[in-house]
Structure formats: C-alpha cells, structure tokens
Amino acid sequence: MNDEKVLWEDDYYDDDDEDTQKDRFLTFKIGKEEYAVEISCVIEVIGMQKITHVPDMPEFVKGVINLRGQVIPITDIRMRFGLPAREYDDRTCIVVVTVEDTYVGIVVDTVSDVLDMPEETVAPPPKINQKPGSRYIQGLGKVGEDVKIILDVVKLLYEERFEQLPEGIEMEPDDRNLI
C-alpha cells in the first residue's frame, strides 16, 4: 500500500514539475514597479557580490562576477530601463538567468515572490512606446489588483550585443528583426 502511494506521489510530482515551469514567474521590484520573468529561465538568485568592472561595455553592463568558477556578466536593469541609478543595499539581489546556455546576472532592487500567472491573465504589451525599456516587455500579468510587467529575457540578454557596437555602424533594420 505504502509503496504504491509513494509511487503515485512521484508521478504526481513529475507532472507537477513540468507544470511548475509553465506560467510561473519570479517577480522582483525595481523602484515601485513589479517585474516578472519566466521561472524556467531563472537559474538562481544570489546576493550582491563584488563586481569586476569590464571596460568598453554599455553603461548597464556592470561587469563580471565569479559564480562558482564561472564568470558571468552582470547587467543593471535600472540603467537598461533608463531609471536613475541607486546604491546597492542589503536587499539588492542578482537574478541569474540563462538563455541558450549563456548565463547573465540581472541586478534588481529586491526579489519578491514566485507567482502563477496563467496565460489568460496576461495581456499583450502596450503599443505606446514611452520608456526606453518598454521593448523588453513580453506582457502584463494581472494578479488580483496588481499588475506585473513580464520581461522578455531573450530580448533583455541579446539586444545588448548590438548596443555595444561602436557608434557609426548602423544596423540594418532586417538584422534588428532577427534578434
């Protein structure tokens, strides 16, 4: 009897694992806004560490850190979104995310929660282009009264590449679409 139950539970959790990945988001705060990223691309959340500055990087790339022998770049999402810089404090965290085996740390003011946001509660991003950061928005998730801004991690990570191109080299519009 007992064995059977354990077996059943295992199965249950296996199924659950896949479900956990889907529609689940890690939310964090930057300024007053709450942002969210898909949990499947989050590797871990670590505290602030000493960042080694790397020259020739756009302002929002703060440098690199050593994560257990692996050197990963750190971006500050505030600068990415054109928000004013803020001193790092105890609550400042680095969210390590991955896309296609590239690890990147994102500095956030504070990590809040892991939430379920089913597809039907997520609205498409607003059409109006107000802030420089709005193109990284994947959608807007509603949880109760709150609205979380869901970020497109791929864009967040990969658009950086092109911003470090020296000025004067114009990107073909086609190329931009490819990203």
Partner 1 sequence: MGGERKVIDEDVKAFIEESREILEEVEPQIITLGQLLDRNIPADPETINLIFRAFHTIKGTAAFYQFDTVVSITHKAETLLELFRQKDVELNTSCTDLLCKSCDVVEKLFKNIEETGSDDSDEEDVRTISSRLVGLTNLLAGRGGEQNQPETTTIEDDSGAEAETPETKEDITQKNRLFLTEGRPFFEEVLFFAKKIGKTEEEMTILDADNINNATGNLKILAETADFLEFDHVYQIIESLITLLQTVKENEYQIKKPEINVFVYGCNVIDDLLAIIEKEGNDRGHEDQISAVLEAVKNPESLYISDRFAEKRKKRLSRTSARKNAPEDSATTFTITEGMRLTFLNESAEFLDEIEDVFLSIKSDVTDKDYLAEAFRLLHSFKGSCGFMNYGDLERLAHRTETLVEAALDDVMILDHWDLKAIWFVLGVMRDTLGKIERNQGSKILNIAVLEYMLEYISSFPSEQEKYEEMLLPEIKKDRPTEIVLEPSPYENAGDDYETNPQGPKTGNAPEPEERREKGETRRKPDLEIESEDAIISTQDILSRKLERRDIRVSLDKLDELINLIGELVIAENMVIRNPDVVNREFENFEKASIHLSKIVRDLQDVALSVRMIPISGVFRKMIRLVHDLSVKSKKKVGLKLAGEDTEIDKTVAELIADPLVHLVRNAIDHGIHRKKQRNGSNDGNILLEARHEGGEVWIMIKDDGDGLDIQKILQKGIDAGLVSEENKTIMTDQEIIELIFQPGFSTSDSVTSVSGRGVGMDVVKRNIEKIKGHIDINSRPGIGTTFILRIPLTLAIIDGMLVRVGSASYTIPLLSIRESIQVDAQNVVETMDGQEMVRVREELLPVIRLHQLYNLDSDYQELHEGLLVIIEHQRETACLFIDEIIGEQQTVIKGLSGYMENIRGVSGCTILGDGEVSLILDVAGLIKRTYREDIVFHETIGLPAQQ
Q: What DSSP state is assigned to residue 132?
A: G
Run of H or E residues at 139 = strand 137-143
Report if residue 157 touches partner 1, rule: CB under 8 A: yes
Shortest Cβ 164–partner 1 spacing (Å): 8
Judged by beta carbon, residue 54 or residue 171, the one nearer partner 1 is: 54
Judged by beta carbon, residue 57 or residue 143, the one nearer partner 1 is: 57
Report if residue 161 touches partner 1, rule: CB under 8 A: yes
CA 48 to each of CA 73, 82, 90, 139, 147: distance values in angstroms, whole numbers, following the listed order: 13, 21, 8, 28, 27
Report if residue 55 touches partner 1, rule: CB under 8 A: yes
Report if residue 52 touches partner 1, rule: CB under 8 A: yes
Report if residue 23 touches partner 1, rule: CB under 8 A: no
Report if residue 144 touches partner 1, rule: CB under 8 A: no
Cβ atoms within 10 Å, residue 110: 12
Match 């300024």 to its residue by tokens.
31
Judged by beta carbon, residue 5 or residue 161, the one nearer partner 1 is: 161
Give phi and psi for 85, each to the nearest 5. -65, 155
Distance CA 29, CA 89 (A): 13
Judged by beta carbon, residue 53 or residue 127, the one nearer partner 1 is: 53
Shortest Cβ 14–partner 1 spacing (Å): 23
* Binding positions for partner 1, 63-122, rule CB under 8 A: 63-66, 69, 71-73, 102-104
Distance CA 88, CA 110 (A): 10
Strands (E), 5-101: 24-30, 33-38, 42-47, 61-67, 70-76, 93-99
Judged by beta carbon, residue 21 or residue 102, the one nearer partner 1 is: 102
Report if residue 50 touches partner 1, rule: CB under 8 A: yes
Report if residue 21 touches partner 1, rule: CB under 8 A: no
User: For the chain, what is the radius of gyration of the CA atoms?
Assistant: 18
Residues that bind partner 1 (CB under 8 A): 50, 52-57, 61, 63-66, 69, 71-73, 102-104, 157-158, 160-161, 166
